[in-house]
């Protein structure tokens, strides 16, 4: 890759033999190239925006005494922006040849290549963790050699999206470990490919042989091809992804079964993840307590969460999710075919790091994952306790996904595993089950043309996981991260009986959007902004509820916070939920008086 800096940089690896790389006395001139990242150009852009880009690059490119300019794109095809950049007087383009590879190749051929320019070919996936198919990459690179003055081998994007080194992983089965490439391994792949490109495949024969064997071991493995999972997914019918009765009948059955008041109150699932809970998990990992001791602590926490909710007067309770380290990893650890890493940290945003699990093989659920905690919570109260699961789309969105089958196929496998869990929750006496999909919108493809196909498999996967229950079992879902306007149809297509959404900061904007769409089912736009420690007053929450009632009729309006409470402390959680329940009571009285 080109250096990202333009002037007076320290000596870069390879630019000279200076052993003190940062020595200001290094004799060779500093490299004078500048990389301009333009991932916005892989999204749909209007003709006016493309014109503006053409003008901007013409302006930059025609400056005298300028550094060399490399314009980098990644995560998808460049589409209409490719001819614009191909014509621009810049020195090089970086293109993604992993995602959108075929389209980028075609488009490059259509514009007659990049004569006079350098092409940085992102053939090693910088966003996923699978070993590269070196022969396939060499073939792509070979094609590209005919299309640009010079071809550099590169990762498709910055390597900050992948963990550092597979060698740090001790718990992953050795065979599976060979299928993985983290940043260190990817760097080695880039070097190998560059060598193969420069000196011929003979120069990298040994690497190619190992690579071929690795890819074959992955393709032939019973881990990636479990016949039981394959035949089950193949047998899925359209009816499996449809509830047995339409919503109006279900609503009547659920009303009779649950007997909830008008404006029922509930929460999104998690209660504060206290230091004691995290310490208990650390103690368990370090062997300071055993499983029995750990589970006693979890049970004690559930007991407190239930009794607080009863005392506060919440209508649909939750167990509080104290046993979960993370809403995706917790389930990934219990599903066959899913791997958790020990050291696979990647930056999520700012200083927050996550360890995404890896969807490595065919997915199945050897045994129930959450049932006993929900059932335990239910044993402590007469009020309904809501079972809590993470939905198939979010499981995919916050994991490294398979690259050897369509995402929709992986989603369907995860959905079937979750369907078993949903059905087992129902069988254990759970009447309300929430399947969270906070990442549904986040995963929306970058280009509008790709969205219908994504939303089709995503909503089908959700319905597949939730459609195996009786009509009187109430299915909830939850989404956050604002701006739902453009996916209201998809929200409708989930066919969940109740949806809770983040809404407090936008003053119930989503309630108006749902109403404008004619959304026919129940909804709980949040009345408590959980992203701040601020405690809403009863009057503030009541005012939001009254605003919600302008869009959603009382029979279909729920009262809940914006999202889970795991990041909050107990004092503000207590006070805020008390306000929330008081607000629901106030508005109920107003309704019955009017």
> Is the four-CA dihedral 194, 199, 203, 205 of positive or negative sign?
positive
Beta bridge partners of 338: 359
Q: Which is nearer to Zn ion, 100 or 526 (CB)?
A: 526
Nearest to 150 by CA among 191, 194, 107: 194
Q: How many residues bind Zn ion (CB under 5 A)?
A: 3
Task: Work out whether 563 is an interface residue with Zn ion (CB under 5 A).
Answer: yes
Candidate list 225, 319, 517, 531, residue with the active-site label = 531
Which value, to the nearest 10 degrees, does the dihedral of the CA atoms of residues 246, 249, 255, 258 take?
Answer: -60
The residue (of 244 and 567) whose beta carbon lies closer to ligand GLN is 567
Among 3, 122, 163, 269, binds ligand GLN (CB under 6 A): 269
Torsion angle (degrees, nearest 10) of CA 111, 115, 116, 117 = 60
Cα 301 to Cα 299: distance, rounded to the nearest angstrom: 5
Residues in CB range of 398: below 8 A, 6 or more apart: 328, 354, 356, 439
Contacts of 205 (CB under 8 A, 6+ apart): none
Residue closer to ligand GLN by CB (options 412, 478) is 478
From 218, 402, 478, 568, residue interacting with ligand GLN (rule: CB under 6 A): 478
494 contacts Zn ion (rule: CB under 5 A)? no
Nearest approach in angstroms of CB 258 to ligand GLN is 20
Number of H helices, E strands in the chain: 20, 14
Residues 6+ apart with CB under 8 A from 246: none
The item of ligand GLN, Zn ion, none sharing an interface with residue 327, based on CB under 5 to 8 Å by kind, is: ligand GLN
Nearest to 196 by CA among 239, 136, 255: 136
> Is residue 268 involved in binding ligand GLN (CB under 6 A)?
yes
Q: Which of residues 313-372 bind ligand GLN (CB under 6 A)?
A: 327
Give the interface segment with Zn ion, choosing from 53-61, 132-140, 477-485, 571-579 (CB under 5 A). Answer: 477-485
Min separation Cβ 395 and Zn ion, Å: 15
Query: Nearer to ligand GLN by C-beta: 57 or 308?
Result: 308
| Site residue total, ligand GLN (CB under 6 A) | 12
Supply the minimum distance, in Å, between the C-beta of residue 506 and ligand GLN: 16
Bridge partner residues of 130 (DSSP): 180
Stretch that binds ligand GLN, among 103-111, 402-410, 559-567, 579-587 (CB under 6 A): 559-567
| Contacts (CB under 6 A) with ligand GLN, residues 423-442 | 436, 438
Q: Which residue from 371, 480, 494, 508 is in contact with Zn ion, where contact means CB under 5 A?
A: 480
Q: How far apart are CA 320 and CA 524, in angstroms?
A: 18
HEC letters along 495-561: CCCEEEECCCCCCCHHHHHHHHHCCCCEEEECCCCCCCCCCCCHHHHHHHHHHHHHHCCHHHECECC
CB atoms under 10 Å from CB of 189, counted, come to: 22
**CA 565 – CA 556 distance, rounded (Å):** 24
Q: What residues numbered 374-403 form the site for ligand GLN, per CB under 6 A? A: 388
Residue in this structure with the two tokens 């297509």, named with its chain if needed: 493
User: Segment contacting ligand GLN (CB under 6 A): 154-162, 265-273, 378-386, 576-584?
Assistant: 265-273
Residues 6+ apart with CB under 8 A from 267: 309, 314, 318, 560, 561, 564, 565, 577
Closer of 297 and 478 to ligand GLN (Cβ): 478
Tell me whether residue 270 or residue 474 sits nearer to ligand GLN (CB atom). Answer: 270
176 DSSP 8-state letter: H
Q: Which is nearer to Zn ion, 85 or 544 (CB)?
A: 544
Nearer to ligand GLN, 79 or 524 (CB): 524
Q: Binding of ligand GLN at residue 563 (CB under 6 A)?
A: yes
Nearest to 154, CA basis, from 118, 186, 109 = 186
Residue 269 near which of ligand GLN, Zn ion, none (CB within 5-8 Å, type-dependent): ligand GLN
Minimum distance, C-beta of residue 530 to ligand GLN, in the bound complex (Å): 9
Q: How far is the CB of 269 from Zn ion (least distance, A)?
A: 9
Min. distance of Cβ 387 from ligand GLN in angstroms?
Answer: 11
User: What is the rounded CA–CA span in Å between residue 40 and residue 491?
Assistant: 26
What the block records as the tokens of 250 is: 């279900």
Instruction: Output the smallest distance, CB 438 to ligand GLN, in A.
Output: 4
The CB-of-557 to ligand GLN minimum distance in angstroms stands at 20
Q: Is 566 an interacting residue with respect to ligand GLN (CB under 6 A)?
A: yes
Residue range at the interface with ligand GLN (CB under 6 A); choices 90-98, 267-275, 485-493, 545-553: 267-275
Q: Is 531 annotated as catalytic?
A: yes
Residue 542, C-beta contacts closer than 8 angstroms, at least 6 positions apart? 582, 583, 586, 587
Q: Contact region for Zn ion (CB under 5 A) — 107-115, 223-231, 372-380, 475-483?
A: 475-483
480 near ligand GLN (CB under 6 A): yes
Task: State the helix-helix crossing angle for 291-312 and 275-285, rounded to 10 degrees.
Answer: 160
Residues that bind ligand GLN (CB under 6 A): 268-270, 327, 388, 436, 438, 478, 480, 563-564, 566
Catalytic positions are 531
Residues that bind Zn ion (CB under 5 A): 438, 480, 563
């Amino acid at each position: 890759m080109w250096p990202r800096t333009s002037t007076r940089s320290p000596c870069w690896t390879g630019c000279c033999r200076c052993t003190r790389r940062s020595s200001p006395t290094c004799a060779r001139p500093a490299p004078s190239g500048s990389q301009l990242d333009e991932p916005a150009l892989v999204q749909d852009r209007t003709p006016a925006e493309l014109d503006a880009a053409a003008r901007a690059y013409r302006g930059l490119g025609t400056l005298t005494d300028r550094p060399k300019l490399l314009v980098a794109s990644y995560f998808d095809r460049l589409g209409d922006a490719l001819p614009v950049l191909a014509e621009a007087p810049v020195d090089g383009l970086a293109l993604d040849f992993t995602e959108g590879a075929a389209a980028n190749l075609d488009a490059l051929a259509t514009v007659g290549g990049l004569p006079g320019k350098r092409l940085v070919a992102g053939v090693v996936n910088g966003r996923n963790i699978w070993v590269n198919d070196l022969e396939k990459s060499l073939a792509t690179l070979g094609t590209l050699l005919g299309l640009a003055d010079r071809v550099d081998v590169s990762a498709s994007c910055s390597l900050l999206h992948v963990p550092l080194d597979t060698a740090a992983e001790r718990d992953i089965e050795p065979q599976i470990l060979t299928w993985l490439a983290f940043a260190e391994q990817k760097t080695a792949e880039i070097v190998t490919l560059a060598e193969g490109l420069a000196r011929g495949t003979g120069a990298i024969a040994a690497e190619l042989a190992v690579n071929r064997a690795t890819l074959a071991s992955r393709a032939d493995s019973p881990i990636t091809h479990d016949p039981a999972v394959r035949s089950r997914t193949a047998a899925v019918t359209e009816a499996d992804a449809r509830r047995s009765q339409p919503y109006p009948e279900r609503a009547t059955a659920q009303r009779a079964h649950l007997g909830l008041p008008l404006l029922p109150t509930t929460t999104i699932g998690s209660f504060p993840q206290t230091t004691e809970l995290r310490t208990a998990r650390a103690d368990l990992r370090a062997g300071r307590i055993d499983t029995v001791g750990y589970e006693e602590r979890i049970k004690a926490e559930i007991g407190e969460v239930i009794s607080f909710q009863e005392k506060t007067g919440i209508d649909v309770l939750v167990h509080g999710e104290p046993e979960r380290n993370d809403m995706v990893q917790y389930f990934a650890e219990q599903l066959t075919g899913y791997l958790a890493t020990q050291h696979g940290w990647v930056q999520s945003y700012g200083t927050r790091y996550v360890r995404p699990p890896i969807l490595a093989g065919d997915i199945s659920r050897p045994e129930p994952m959450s049932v006993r905690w929900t059932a335990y919570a239910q044993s402590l109260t007469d009020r309904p306790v809501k079972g809590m699961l993470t939905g198939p789309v979010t499981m995919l969105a916050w994991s490294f996904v398979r690259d050897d089958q369509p995402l929709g196929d992986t989603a369907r496998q995860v959905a079937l595993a979750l369907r078993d869990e949903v059905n087992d929750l129902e069988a254990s006496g759970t009447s309300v089950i929430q399947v969270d999909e906070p990442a549904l919108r986040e995963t929306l493809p970058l280009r509008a043309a790709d969205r219908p196909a994504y939303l089709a498999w995503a909503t089908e996967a959700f319905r597949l996981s939730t459609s195996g229950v009786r009509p009187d079992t109430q299915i909830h879902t939850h989404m956050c991260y604002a701006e739902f306007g453009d996916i209201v149809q998809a929200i409708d297509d989930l066919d969940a009986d109740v949806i809770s959404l983040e809404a407090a900061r936008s003053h119930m904007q989503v309630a108006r959007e749902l109403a404008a769409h004619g959304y026919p089912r129940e909804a709980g736009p949040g009345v408590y902004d959980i992203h701040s420690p601020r405690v809403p007053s009863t009057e503030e929450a009541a005012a939001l509820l009254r605003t919600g009632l302008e869009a959603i009729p009382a029979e279909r309006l729920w009262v809940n916070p914006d999202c889970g409470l795991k990041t909050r402390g107990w004092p503000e959680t207590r006070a805020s939920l008390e306000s929330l329940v008081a607000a629901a009571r106030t508005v109920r009285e107003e309704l019955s008086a009017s």
